[in-house]
C-alpha cells in the first residue's frame, strides 16, 4: 500500500502548529504521545532528562518489538524543539509546498522527521509488514546545544545503530560531521565615570575589540570554521565598561586543527590583555582575562562498510534508488549518539531554508523519505 499522503500532511501541519520552542516542548510531546497511543498504547516512556536540561518535557522514547524480534534492532531520532521565531506558527499550503505565513519559521526542522516516522509506522501496521525491533527517540533542546541528547541515557537503548532525520536533501546521508569547541572569554577592565575621570578606567569593550580585530573568522580551511556569535559588555554610556563577555565556537573534522585553532584564539585574546599599556598613566590597575573552553559535541565519521550505512543502502536499493554520502559542517543529535558508540547516520526529509521565515518543504520529499524509512524497517 502506498504512503497515505493526506494523513502525512495533516499530521505534519498539526505538529508545526503546536508550539515547541527549546525548553517548551511539553505541548508537542503530548500531541506525539496521543497520536502513538492509538496505535501502540504501551510503547512509550518519557525519561527524566528534564531535570538536567530545564525543559518542561523529557525526551520521548517509543519502543516497538516488531514481528521479527530476532532481527537487528535500530533506532530513529528526531528533535521536538524549534528555533525562534517559532511561536504561533500558521502553515500555508500551496499545492504540495508547505511554508509558514511568513512571520515565523515553519518548524519542518525537525517536525518533518517526526511526521515521517509516525506515518512510516502507521503504513507498516496497516500493511501488516514484518519488521524487527525499533526505537524512536524524540529529543528536547536540540537547537540549544543538543541538551536533550546529551542528557539521554543511551544505555537504555537496545539498538546499537540509528538514523537521525535532520537534514535537507533526500537520497543523501551525512556520514561526516565536525567536532565543536565553545569558548567564553571574559575581559575585565576598570570602571570609571566616562565624563569626569575616564583616565582611571580600562575599557573592556575596546580590549575585546582589539583581541578580535585580526582574528580569522568564518571558513578557516576546507574542514574547519570559527565564529564569534555573542558579545555582552558595559552598563551605561557614561561608565567605562569593566566587563565584556565574548562567546564563540570553533568546528573542525580534524581534532588536531580544532585544538590548534582554539588555541590561536585564546592566545590572541591573552596577547591583547598582556600587551595593554596605560595611555594616560592614571589607571589604578591592569586588565585581566578569563578564557574557558568546553566541548560542544564530538565529530562523527562513519565508514562506508559500517552496518548502518549498509542498512540504508540496501533499503534504498530495494526502492530502486542510490544513496550518496556527504559531509556537513553542522552538528546534530547524531554527533552525540555517535559519541556514545551508536553508529548513527543522518537522513534528509526535504526541509529547505531552515532557521528562517522562508522555510518550506515539499510533500513529495516527505513521502520519499517515508518510503525509505519504511524500507529500512522492513529490510532484513
- Residues marked active site are found at 81, 142
In sequence order, what E strands does 236-356 have?
243-252, 288-297, 300-301, 324-327, 343-348
184 Rama sector, left if φ>0, alpha if ψ -120 to 50, beta otherwise: beta
Q: What's the CA gap between 315 and 376, in Å, rounded? A: 5
Matching residue, cell 505534519: 12
Q: What count of residues does the chain have?
A: 380
Q: What's the CA gap between 57 and 40, in Å, rounded? A: 20
How many other C-beta atoms can be found within 10 angstroms of the C-beta atom of residue 278? 14
| Sign of the four-CA dihedral 150, 223, 182, 359 | negative
Contact criterion met (CB below 8 Å) for 49 and 55 = yes
248 bridge partner residues: 183, 228
Contact criterion met (CB below 8 Å) for 363 and 119 = no
Radius of gyration of the chain from its Cα atoms, rounded to whole angstroms: 24
Q: What's the CA gap between 126 and 204, in Å, rounded? A: 64
Burial of 337 (0-12, 13-18, 19+ CB in 10 A): buried
Burial letters 338-349, b for 16+ CB under 10 A, else e: bbbebbbbbbbb
Strand pairing class (343-348; 161-167): parallel
Burial of 293 (0-12, 13-18, 19+ CB in 10 A): middle
Amino acid at each position: 500500500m502506498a504512503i497515505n499522503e493526506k494523513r502525512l500532511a495533516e499530521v505534519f501541519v498539526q505538529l508545526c502548529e503546536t508550539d515547541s520552542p527549546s525548553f517548551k516542548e511539553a505541548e508537542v510531546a503530548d500531541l506525539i504521545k496521543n497520536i502513538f497511543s492509538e496505535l501502540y498504547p504501551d510503547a512509550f516512556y518519557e525519561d527524566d532528562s528534564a531535570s538536567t536540561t530545564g525543559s518542561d518535557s523529557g525526551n520521548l522514547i517509543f519502543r516497538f518489538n516488531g514481528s521479527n524480534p530476532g532481527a537487528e534492532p535500530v533506532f530513529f531520532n528526531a528533535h521536538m524543539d524549534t528555533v525562534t521565531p517559532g511561536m504561533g506558527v500558521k502553515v500555508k499550503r500551496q499545492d504540495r509546498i508547505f511554508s509558514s505565513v511568513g512571520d515565523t519559521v515553519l518548524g519542518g526542522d525537525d517536525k518533518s522527521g517526526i511526521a515521517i516516522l509516525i506515518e512510516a509506522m502507521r503504513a507498516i501496521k496497516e500493511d501488516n509488514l514484518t519488521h524487527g525491533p525499533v526505537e524512536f527517540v524524540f529529543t528536547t533542546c536540540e537547537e540549544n546545544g543538543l541538551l536533550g541528547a546529551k542528557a539521554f541515557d543511551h544505555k537504555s537503548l537496545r539498538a546499537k545503530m540509528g538514523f537521525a532525520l535532520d537534514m535537507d536533501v533526500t537520497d543523501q546521508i551525512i556520514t561526516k560531521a565536525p567536532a565543536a569547541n565553545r569558548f567564553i572569554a571574559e575581559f575585565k577592565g576598570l570602571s570609571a565615570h566616562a565624563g569626569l575621570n575616564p583616565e582611571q578606567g580600562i575599557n573592556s569593550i575596546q580590549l575585546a575589540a582589539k583581541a578580535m580585530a585580526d582574528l580569522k573568522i568564518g571558513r578557516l580551511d576546507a574542514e574547519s570554521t570559527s565564529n564569534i556569535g555573542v558579545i555582552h559588555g558595559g552598563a551605561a554610556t557614561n561608565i567605562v565598561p569593566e566587563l565584556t563577555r565574548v562567546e564563540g565556537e570553533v568546528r573542525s573534522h580534524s581534532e588536531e586543527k580544532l585544538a590548534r585553532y582554539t588555541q590561536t584564539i585564546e592566545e590572541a585574546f591573552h596577547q591583547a590583555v598582556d600587551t595593554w599599556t596605560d595611555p594616560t598613566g592614571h589607571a589604578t590597575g591592569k586588565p585581566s582575562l578569563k578564557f574557558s573552553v568546553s566541548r560542544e559535541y564530538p565529530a562523527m565519521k562513519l565508514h562506508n562498510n559500517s552496518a548502518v550505512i549498509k542498512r540504508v543502502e540496501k533499503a534504498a536499493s530495494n526502492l530502486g534508488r542510490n544513496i550518496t554520502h556527504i559531509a556537513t559542517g553542522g552538528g546534530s543529535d547524531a554527533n552525540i549518539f555517535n559519541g556514545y558508540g551508536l553508529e548513527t547516520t543522518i537522513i534528509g526529509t526535504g526541509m529547505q531554508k531552515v532557521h528562517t521565515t522562508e522555510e518550506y518543504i515539499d510533500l513529495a520529499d516527505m513521502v520519499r523519505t517515508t518510503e525509505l524509512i519504511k524500507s529500512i524497517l522492513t529490510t532484513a
